[in-house]
Amino acid sequence: MANIYNIIWADDETAIYALKKPNGENTVLADILERKGVRLLDTAKNAQELREKLSAKLSWVDAVIIDANFTAFGDKPKTERVLKGFEESVSILRDLGENGNRIPFILFTGRDIALIEENTEEDYLRYFLDNNLYFNKLEDDTEDVIDRLIEEVDRVNTPEHKLRVRYSDAFDAAGTIEGAQDELMKCLLLDMDHSLLPDDSKDRFNALRRLFEKLYTSCIETGLLPKMPLNSIPRLLKNDTQGASPFYLKNGCQPMHKTLVASLEFFLSIVQDGSHEIGDLGLGVLDYIEESKSQNILQTATHIVMDLLLWHKNAVIKYSDESFWGGHYVAEGVVKEIPIRVPGGKSMFEMDQFTIQPDTNTPLCDGDYIGIKAYEDDNKNPGRFFVKHYNYVLIKRKDNE
């Protein structure tokens, strides 16, 4: 079998990882490694050597086996209670983790758990015990150690594990929304698939839309956003409702940064109305992907959703006691058509002392119930007020009472 697992072994007892006997024959370890497809890339007699050799060969190392009773510097430890090499090795492990490297460390030692815990100041064993990576030289077979090493290397090198590590912040944010982590993983796995078939692209976009819908549902439940058609949300966040929404931002409120609002608007325009039919994706996106042979737009949409997840996590905390949506109007009531025409021939409407200019996108009918957000003096009719088409909200149609 070809060498596919490269390891460094750190132990002051060099015989433990010897590959040749004095007579030149292979040791039992050498036979095990060859059979399992494992290559002993290098060895270290203390933790300082381990750090240096890892630094020099990091991109080639798949796993590390360490002893407990060895030194941080120098050669043999004076007593079995000297565990400085083990402590320093755990420090190396933590440093690697902080830099996004998840090389597995296996603890293979003749020291039992009680002795290690008694002679170390911190809970250095936790990583090894939690991940079943502690083995005792006096009780466990070397082949079992190598089998577990291979199993752990395979685990940390799965696409799922790599994605969880790379996008840990986004997965953490998705964890606040039921089912969102699974949907995010589906999106990212699809994003890694370099197939350019239209059906595959459709699946990617639909997965992203499902994830966004879960996010939006949570926004409604937490009061971050009001319930309304998805495609109207960016306009609402820009306070550009133009009479199309029963909600508006209170003065000075801006729950989402304008950069993210623009990104959301782009995302929704790309995936359009969430339809599962290929032909219903809005801007001919699938045709573009097929023609350009580029998946960049897919990855852009994925990263926008991850930014929205991060926003949601922070916004739930930041705005937990704050309401920035207005739903109360300066006046509300039933409108009545009046015989005054606006350019284009549409009738004007009145409600009490207000004269209302109808909105082309949200036309009014006799008996509709509206809310007025703002008004101005009607200079032609003292004592009356004029409401422009973007300053009223249609709350309820007459026939929906």
The answer for residues whose C-beta is within 8 angstroms of residue 240's C-beta and 6 or more apart is: none
pLDDT (tens place) for every residue of the chain, 401 residues total: 445 788 999 998 888 889 999 999 999 999 999 999 999 999 999 999 999 999 998 888 899 999 988 888 876 665 666 678 888 888 999 888 887 778 999 999 988 888 888 877 778 888 999 999 999 998 999 999 999 999 999 888 888 878 887 888 999 999 889 889 988 988 888 777 665 455 567 777 788 888 998 998 888 777 787 766 677 788 778 876 554 455 656 656 778 899 999 999 898 888 764 444 444 445 677 778 778 877 788 889 899 999 999 999 998 887 765 555 655 577 888 999 988 877 666 788 999 989 988 877 667 888 888 878 778 888 888 888 888 887 787 777 776 54
Q: What is the overall mean pLDDT for the chain?
A: 81
Alpha carbons 158 and 180: distance in angstroms, whole number: 20
How does pLDDT run across 122-158, given as a tens digit for each residue? 788 889 999 999 999 989 999 999 999 999 998 888 8
Same domain, 86 and 114: yes
Same domain, 140 and 198: no
Question: How long is the chain?
Answer: 401
Is residue 305 within 8 Å of residue 211, measured between CB atoms?
Answer: yes
Phi-psi group of 372: left, alpha or beta (phi > 0 → left; psi -120 to 50 → alpha; rest → beta): beta
Same domain, 315 and 364: no
- Bridge partners, residue 396, by sequence: 369
Question: Quick one: 240 exposed, middle or buried, by C-beta within 10 A (0-12, 13-18, 19+)?
Answer: middle
The backbone torsions φ and ψ at residue 39, rounded to the nearest 5 degrees and listed phi first, read -115, 130
Task: For residue 59, give the DSSP letter.
Answer: G
Same domain, 369 and 233: no
Sign (positive or negative) of CA dihedral 215, 218, 220, 223: negative
Same domain, 151 and 166: no
Same domain, 74 and 198: no
pTM for this prediction: 0.57
Domain boundary among 108, 139, 156: 156
Alpha carbons 269 and 276: distance in angstroms, whole number: 15
DSSP string of 136-192, one letter each residue: ETTTS-HHHHHHHHHHHHHHHTSHHHHHHHHTHHHHHHHTTSTTHHHHHHHHHHHHH
Same domain, 261 and 358: no
Same domain, 259 and 117: no
Task: For residue 257, give the DSSP letter.
Answer: -
Is residue 367 within 8 Å of residue 400, measured between CB atoms?
Answer: no
Q: What is the span of the domain harbouring residue 384?
A: 331-400
User: How many angstroms separate the Cα of 308 from the Cα of each of 204, 238, 301?
Assistant: 17, 16, 11
Domain boundary among 287, 322, 357: 322
Question: How many domains are contained in the chain?
Answer: 3
- Here the CATH number for the domain that contains residue 71 is 3.40.50.2300
| DSSP-derived 3-state class of residue 208 | helix
Same domain, 9 and 104: yes
> Rounded to 5 degrees, what angle do the CA atoms 59, 181, 295 make?
65
Is residue 50 within 8 Å of residue 16, measured between CB atoms?
Answer: no
Same domain, 65 and 171: no
Same domain, 251 and 337: no
Residue 29: CA count within 13 A, CB half-sphere: 13
Strands 336-341 and 331-334: unpaired
Domain boundary among 322, 345, 363: 322
Same domain, 78 and 111: yes
Q: Please report where in the chains the tokens 């008004």 appear, as a residue.
A: 375
How does pLDDT run across 365-381, given as a tens digit for each residue? 888 888 787 788 888 88
